[in-house]
């Protein structure tokens, strides 16, 4: 496996009136995750890759992010949520139950 984990953050903004990750803090979550992984020296091959994504079609639960290869979906609110995903899941391998996106959440 090239990366231990990849996390994709939806940064999309949909049409006015539709749920959009971009309008509920997605960029801040992405930026915080990226800088945490970089400053901890966890980026690169064998480590953790933080990627931007377009719409993941689960906008009603936004902002959303998904971790591979586990395919674990998250919804987060603030930087401390991102810290918990990084520390518990991306580093420790243990998903953060309280931030899991419910399976029925779609667009």
Q: Report yes or no: 73 and 21 within 8 Å, Cβ to Cβ.
A: no
Measured from the CB of residue 87, what is the shortest distance to ligand FES in angstroms?
24
In the complex with ligand FES, the residue whose CB is nearer, 93 or 100, is: 100
Q: Report yes or no: 96 and 84 within 8 Å, Cβ to Cβ.
A: yes
Interacting span for ligand FES (CB under 6 A) from 30-38, 39-47, 49-57, 66-74:
49-57
In the complex with ligand FES, the residue whose CB is nearer, 18 or 70, is: 18
Binding residue (CB under 6 A) for ligand FES from 8, 20, 81, 86: 20
CA dihedral 22, 49, 77, 14 (to 10 degrees): 20
Distance CA 39, CA 41 (A): 5
In terms of Cβ atoms closer than 10 Å to its own Cβ (0-12, 13-18, 19+), residue 45 is exposed
In the complex with ligand FES, the residue whose CB is nearer, 41 or 103, is: 103
Q: Which two tokens stand for residue 59?
A: 């906008």
Binding residue (CB under 6 A) for ligand FES from 55, 67, 90, 99: 55
Q: What's the CA angle centered on 81, arms 77 and 87, to 5 degrees? A: 160
In the complex with ligand FES, the residue whose CB is nearer, 42 or 63, is: 63
Residues that bind ligand FES (CB under 6 A): 10, 12, 14, 20-21, 55-59, 62, 64
């Amino acid at each position: 496996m090239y990366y231990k984990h990849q996390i994709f953050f939806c940064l999309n903004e949909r049409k006015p009136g539709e749920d959009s990750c971009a309008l509920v803090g997605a960029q801040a979550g992405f930026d915080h995750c990226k800088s945490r992984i970089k400053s901890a020296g966890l980026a690169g091959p064998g480590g953790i890759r933080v990627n931007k994504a377009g719409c993941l079609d689960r906008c009603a639960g936004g902002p959303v992010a998904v971790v591979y290869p586990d395919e674990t979906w998250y919804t987060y609110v603030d930087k401390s949520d991102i810290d918990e995903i990084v520390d518990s899941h991306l580093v420790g391998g243990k998903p953060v139950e309280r931030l899991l996106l419910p399976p029925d959440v779609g667009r």
